[in-house]
Structure formats: structure tokens, C-alpha cells
Chain A
Amino acid sequence: MLTTRTNAEWITALSGQGRSQAEAIGELRELLLRAALYTLVTHLDDLQQIDENDRVALAEDCAQDAVQAVLARLDDFRGESKFTTWAYKFGVNMALTRARRERWKPISLDALSEQDDTLDWLQWQESLGAENSELPALQEEVGRVIREVIRTELTDRQRQVLKWIAFDDVPMDVVVERLASNRNAIYKMLHDARLKVKRQLAAHGYEVADVYDLFRSG
């Protein structure tokens, strides 16, 4: 049973020594096991390849790693939230990352890689609506601008990352692992790609909000 500790009590006990520290670490472990279990329970689809007992072992592994992470980063806790919320974050992060990687383990991203520079993955259904016969032509025109930016202003790696994450629904941390990169670098690539497209659309006189409506009506 977890005791109710204030933030200060958590930090003091975990930073201390002896029995009080051991008790606090025990409670922390219980808290983070709960976080890991809850995370996996709410993401059971990611665990379909795993035996039921291995799922529990996975949660325990994540909890243990999270305990170590919390203890190593106690100095980072600034009291801007409840300690339990802050600590839960580590358990959730560990469990979600492992769950996603398990789901994608059997899947090769090579099959989702660009085969050529046709950008055939960047497609939309032409509007066949009779109300506005100019719609398909407008879609083609705007689509040409978007394709041109993606083809000429993004690096090959950036274009591949964009395709995987935004269009193939590959989770970012799976891409991070496969490319031996990190989340910030991948996020920056995606942000840069969005920014370039937004700027070029504006340079061609298009409001992005209008572009969204244009393709939504297709």
C-alpha cells in the first residue's frame, strides 16, 4: 500500500539512506509498475505478438528501468508538478516505447521505403464533384507545388522520414531506432519539412487553410 507523501517527503526519502530510502524506493517501484502495466493494458494491440506472461515481464522490466531513471534524475525534479505525475512519466515513456517497438519488430521499413522519386505516395483522390469543375485543376496545381518542395527542398533522408511517419504511420521512436537517431532530430526534420511546404504555398499565393479545404472536398 502506497503511503501519501508530499513532494518534499519523496525527494528527502529517495535521496536519503537506510530504511526510509529503501521503503521509498519500494513505493516508487510499485508506482512505476502500475504506470507500466496501465500503459501496456491501454495498448494491447501493440502486444499481440507477445505471450501473456512475457507481457507482465515486459512491464516489470520497464518499471525497473524507470526506477533507475527517476533515481538518476531526482535533481531534475523542480516541484512544478506532483512528484507522482513526474515519476509516472518515466514509466509511461518506457512502456510505450517498448510496446511500439514490439509491434514493429517483425516489420521491415525497407518495404515502405521510396523506390523512386515519383512521390506516388503523395496522392489524393481527385474531386469529381460537379459543383465546382475547377476543383481537380486546383488540386493538381497546389499538389504540384507541394510535390516540388518535397522533391527539391528536402533531403532524401528527410523525405523518407516524412513518408514513414506522416504517411505510413510508423511511430517516430521506431524510426529513431531504425535510423540510430534521436527524437529531437527526427522531429526537427518533420518540422523543417512542414515549414518549407508552408512557406512555398504562401509564396505561390495559397493560404494553407484554403489548401486543406481544397483537398478535403475531394
Chain B
Amino acid sequence: MKSNLLRWIKKVEETHEHEIDCTACLKHISRYVDLELATGEASVIMPEVSQHLYQCGICRDEYEVLRELAHLENAGEPPTTADLVERLKQTPRKSERSE
């Protein structure tokens, strides 16, 4: 709980009067990802998106996965469907694990 309070106070500190919402963030997220991969400066060029990603956990999750995928695509190393299916099946269901 205490760490959540600290994290939230930090977010209060970083609060702006005007913040874009999730729809606006996701509208620009693909551009933000490509910009970040190309320049590393997306947070400077698109500060409102950056600020929203700081404040919004689920948009940030989506951004991080999207960035990883786009990076792999750009590198010519997108994971294969077969490999991903194999990995998805690897971890057994919780109820099947031994205590």
C-alpha cells in the first residue's frame, strides 16, 4: 500500500491541467512508437502522449508491447506464429502446478 501511495503522489506531482484521454493517446500511439524507434525522441516531439503514458497504466502496457513488436518487425525478426504458439502453451495452468 505504501508504495502505491508514493507512486500515486508522484503522479499527482506530474499532473497537468490539461491531459489527453485514452482515445487521443491511442489515436497517436502508432506514430509515437515509430518515432521512438526511429529517433528515441518521441517523448520530446509528442509530449502529451508521453505524459498520458506516464499516467495511464493500461495505455503504457499497450505502448510497450507495440514498441517491442514494431522493433522486431523493423529488425526483420518478427517472431513466427509457430514459435509463439509453442511458447503460449508452455506454462501449465495454475491448478496443474505442484504446490
Residues of A within 8 A of B (CB): 30, 33-35, 37-42, 44, 47-53, 55-56, 59, 80-82, 84-86, 88-89, 92-93, 96, 100, 121-125, 165-167, 169, 171-173, 183-184, 187-188, 190-191, 194-195, 197-198, 201, 208-209, 211-212, 215-216, 218
Contacts and interface: CB of A to CB of B under 8 A. Distances in A.
Say whether chain A's binding surface is mostly helix, strand, loop, or mixed: helix
Contacts of A100: 58
Contacts of B28: 80
A136 B15 CA distance: 26
B21 A183 contact: yes
Contacts of A40: 88
A52 B81 contact: no
A53 to B, nearest CB: 8
Which of A33, A47, A122, A194 has most B Cβ within 10 Å?
Answer: A194
B55 interface: yes
Interface residues of B, number: 50
A91 to B, nearest CB: 8
A177 B6 CA distance: 27
Interface of B: 1-2, 4-13, 15, 17, 19, 21-23, 26, 28-31, 33-34, 55-58, 61-62, 65-66, 68-70, 73, 78-79, 81, 84-85, 87-94
B56 A187 contact: yes
A169 B75 CA distance: 34
B58 to A, nearest CB: 5
Contact of B66 (A34, A37, A85, A123): A85
A123 B9 CA distance: 12
15 contacts: A37-B79, A50-B93, A56-B88, A80-B31, A82-B70, A85-B33, A85-B73, A89-B62, A89-B66, A92-B66, A173-B58, A187-B22, A197-B12, A211-B12, A215-B9
A81 B12 contact: no
Contacts of A93: 26, 62
A134 to B, nearest CB: 19
Given A89-B26, A124-B2, A125-B2, A84 B12 contact: no
